[in-house]
Structure 1
Amino acid sequence: MSLEQQTTTSQTTAKVSSLARRIHGWSWQAFPIGMGTGAVYVTLSGVKSRSNLLLQVEHVFFFLNIVLFLLNTTTLTLQLFFFPRQSLRLIKDPVKGVFVPLAVLSFATILIGTINYAVLPGHISPNLIYHLFWVYVSLSLIVCFPMLMIWFNKPHDLATFTPAWAFLIFPLMLVGVIAFNVLRVIPPEEPRAIGILLVGYAFQGLGFFMTFFYICIYIIRIMMTGFLEGHQANGAFVAVGPPGFTALALLKLGDCARKTLPLHGLVTPTAGDVWYAVSVMSAVMLFGLAVFLFLFGILPYWFKLHKHLSEILGCWALTFPNVGFISVIRVLADIFDLPGFIVWHSIMVVFICITWAVLFFLTLMAFWRGKIFFANPEDVLKDAPTSKLQSLSMEADDEEKTLDGHSR
């Protein structure tokens, strides 16, 4: 590189602060970090013997998840203000755009944590959670449908398909999971419980069947090209989420139906028991599919993954999509009195915690080294409006004088 090129590059770098490069380089792919953090306390809450120490650990992860959520939303809001073209580009991007609905999913993990650590202990009224449930349903519809319209407005190559494209449906699919958690604090004799129950079933069916179509396409894709490679290898675990979370939702919603329907005299006197029995049978079948897809993703994973620190964000798919089937292990242990399943669940919880620790360390390392969330100075200058460049610039005049003196 010539001295003139070095001078130009140095001047460009000097004009853009590190903070501006961070804001410009932030993306919706940051939300899986919070979701992975939420996966830890959600799985820990299913442990059979929970000590006070374990409960404190769950609280730490819960508050850390809130901090990460606020950090992501604040940074992306600043990006929208300073770099609107970059924000629009991320939303319309065929790859990064599918991560936009994860903001709603991250809110879902906070909602579940609020029920566990604030409502059940009596710190927050269940009425607030009832209203937040409808806020979540509204956000799911507001975010998912526009993103689906944007994404389906362009053709996509089947040879590059990844199950991560199903993220566009995930918030709708998780309504059933949120519903049964809300029903834990809403008495079954209240009329509100019927609405939550039916909405939970309806959206869970919508979300699962739509994501099931994605799973079918995923199987066709690997028939054509073989197992997913590189950063796409992480997407194989996304396919575990729909059957796993749907099995969990069916088990819990079926239990709620068994308690709720007879109290309101709906359908038939035995409708609640029938719904529960059908839910258990369906959940066991979906659980088998989830375990198969998990093994289908984990066995070739190490050999197909590219070990690049810049691709660490995709590795967070190892955490939150697996929460569904891991939680189902614990529920089935209680339903069928299977002590071995309790041991299996404990082992999987340990694996989730270890995975989170490794990924969090590597993510911090990638962030520190500028491998993630760090835009090029040229991109920052190109996207920033002229009126806002001054607020993002450093003391460029002094740097230019110094560089000019060196060049002479």
Structure 2
Amino acid sequence: MDPRTQQADQSYESSSNFNPNFNPNFDRSNPSPDHAHDLSSQSTRTNTWVQTPGGPYPQDQNPNYQNFGPNQQPGYFQGPININGYAEDVKGKDPFKDSTYVTERSVMPTPNESSRDSSDLEKEKPATEPHDSHKKDPNQPWMAFGPRLKHFTWAWYTLTMATGGISTLIAVQPHRFPGLITIGAIFYIVNLFFFAILGACMVLRFTKFPGTFKESVTHEREALFLGPFFLSIATIITGTQKYVVESYEANHPMRGWIVTSMAIAFWVYVFMTFCLAIFQYSFLFAKHTYLLTKFMPSWLLPIFPIMLGGTIAAVIAKDQPVGSRMPIIAAGLGCQGLGFTMSIIMYAHYIGRLMQVGYPNREHRGAMFIGVGPPSFTALAFIGMANALEDDFDLQGDGLIDANVLRTLAIVSALFLWVLAMWFFMIAFIAVLHSRPEYFHLGWWAMVFPNSGFIIATINIGNSLKDEVILYVANGLTIAILCMWVFVLYHNIRAVVVQDIMYPGRDEDVED
């Protein structure tokens, strides 16, 4: 027979060969002479059966032993054992629910904790206040205006952004008086003057200090303020529509090419801002890391300009020929949807940041009003684009007039968004009152521009509902925002004079 197929030996030691002196604790690796005879009576076969010694067994052989019951003795097996010392079958029984196997343990009583004893560790202030980097050094040396141009940042375009918003707001006032349009035209011209001055200062900065242009568009903080530059252009386009295009009669020979120029400006603006939204966010994703616990509404600024494509469409579409009107409305609706959808996504992080670490630093709380902008401009864009449709507009071509239906939907959507904008306004307003800023920052202009959009949305809703109360409220809000514009402009000029801004370490060209 092939030895590879030979049947294994199934024999075992008989009970007569069992050594009664067998010691289960015997160390085979180091036998002593006293135990040498233990090895002589045991077989060397690997399949030899060895009798397991009877219980109870010492506890030290089972370090993981847990005493499951008060009537049990320590033994070899883990868990409950029977009277013979062997493990008892407890399958199907929950030792934590069956009182037979559960022993009570002393539990420390829950301390009496009142609301004063607990604290929010995320918002708790340290025992020693750290140095505030926003504090101005009272002994900072005086610096000439020329070197200070190095710190003339893109954030300065928040000035023209806000001023252009004021000019558009004045143009849509529901209750007018003689000279109102003249006042609005003055704001429009002043805004053009500011825009030219800011452009000249930026050119001087980039030429006088080589390399600052690349640094400005790649900086993790200053680069975000490229948005206000394009937002300023948006307000110039809408101001031109209100104070130039609408100043001509419908049959004036100059009106035709101006209307065409506005359409061209719209498409160029949409293309540039769409590229900005794509490439700037792509660069920020690849090159910079932003902590969500430091989220600021200024993170919305790269997407803000494309969103105002819908606002521009709402303003200029009604004067465009029918052939070019519908493409402008369609593109404006898409731009508005992109900007508002991204804003909603950002709002989730914004609210999460406020819940986790609280308000931003007191010096930056004015920028919280940026959150008012997306729902406000979306509301006014919906109503404006719906009103720009022809009265006999039939989208499906089925003989049913869709214009009135779309206008009704626009009003409903605008009311929905208007309340959201009001909520963000009140959150920002309370935050600023809770701890007012000590120094001026260009982010203060956020207290003007987004709120201008909120008031324009209020006016559009009042006109659609034909509600005089809403319109008079909008008039009052307009006066308030004009006062705010004067207030911020005064502090802006003062900050330049006393060197609170345009000074090393005091502007948006440093990390915050």
| Normalised-by-shorter TM-score class | 0.7 to 0.9
Asked if 1:93 corresponds to 2:226, the answer is no
**Corresponding residue pairs, total:** 357
Give the letter aligned to residue 283 of structure 1: A
Deviations 1:267-306 (A, max 9, x none): 7633333322222211110111001111111023122232
The secondary structure found in structure 1 opposite 2:388 is: helix
The 1-side partners of 2:426 and 2:470 are apart by 17
Asked if 1:69 corresponds to 2:195, the answer is yes
Q: Which position in structure 2 is the counterpart of 1:3?
A: none
Q: Which position in structure 1 is the counterpart of 2:444?
A: 315
* Offset of residue 357 of structure 1: 0.5
* Offset of residue 19 of structure 1: 4.7
Give the letter aligned to residue 227 of structure 2: P
Asked if 1:170 corresponds to 2:296, the answer is no
Change (3 A) 1:183 1:266: farther
Further displaced range: 318-327 or 250-259? 250-259
The 2-side partners of 1:278 and 1:214 are apart by 25
The 1-side partners of 2:325 and 2:160 are apart by 29
**8 A contact 1:237–1:321 mirrored in 2:** yes
1:108 to 218, 222, 234: 234
The 1-side partners of 2:397 and 2:495 are apart by 55
Alignment of 1:113-152 (within 5 A): 113-122=239-248, 125-152=258-285
More helix by proportion, 1 or 2? 1
The secondary structure found in structure 2 opposite 1:47 is: coil
Give the letter aligned to residue 204 of structure 2: L
* Offset of residue 200 of structure 1: 0.7
% identity of equivalent residues: 24
Structure showing greater radius of gyration is 2
- TM-score, structure 2 normalization: 0.66
Give the letter aligned to residue 377 of structure 2: F
Q: Which position in structure 1 is the counterpart of 2:480?
A: 351
What residue ranges of structure 2 are gaps of 5+ in the alignment?
1-140, 249-253, 506-512
The 1-side partners of 2:327 and 2:397 are apart by 13
Change (3 A) 1:231 1:224: same
Q: Which position in structure 1 is the counterpart of 2:313?
A: 179
Further displaced range: 268-277 or 21-30? 268-277
* Offset of residue 349 of structure 1: 0.2
The secondary structure found in structure 2 opposite 1:62 is: helix
**8 A contact 2:393–2:403 mirrored in 1:** yes
The 2-side partners of 1:283 and 1:183 are apart by 19
Asked if 1:296 corresponds to 2:296, the answer is no
Further displaced range: 76-85 or 345-354? 76-85
Asked if 1:215 corresponds to 2:341, the answer is no
What residue ranges of structure 1 are gaps of 5+ in the alignment?
1-12, 377-408
Deviations 1:187-206 (A, max 9, x none): 3xx21111101001111111
Superposition CA RMSD, Å: 2.1
The 1-side partners of 2:419 and 2:216 are apart by 36
The secondary structure found in structure 2 opposite 1:308 is: coil
Change (3 A) 1:266 1:106: farther
* Offset of residue 170 of structure 1: 0.3
Q: Which position in structure 2 is the counterpart of 1:396?
A: none
Give the letter aligned to residue 149 of structure 1: S
Deviations 1:27-58 (A, max 9, x none): 00100111111122222222223233222111
Task: Tell me which stretches of 4 or more aligned residues in structure 1 moved more than 6 Å.
Answer: none
**8 A contact 1:164–1:238 mirrored in 2:** yes
* Offset of residue 373 of structure 1: 2.2
Q: Which position in structure 1 is the counterpart of 2:78?
A: none
Q: Which position in structure 1 is the counterpart of 2:469?
A: 340
**8 A contact 1:197–1:253 mirrored in 2:** yes
- TM-score, structure 1 normalization: 0.82
The secondary structure found in structure 1 opposite 2:331 is: helix
Change (3 A) 1:181 1:169: same
**8 A contact 2:314–2:382 mirrored in 1:** no
* Offset of residue 146 of structure 1: 2.0
Asked if 1:202 corresponds to 2:202, the answer is no
Change (3 A) 1:268 1:308: farther
Q: Which position in structure 2 is the counterpart of 1:55?
A: 181
The 1-side partners of 2:372 and 2:478 are apart by 16
The secondary structure found in structure 2 opposite 1:259 is: coil
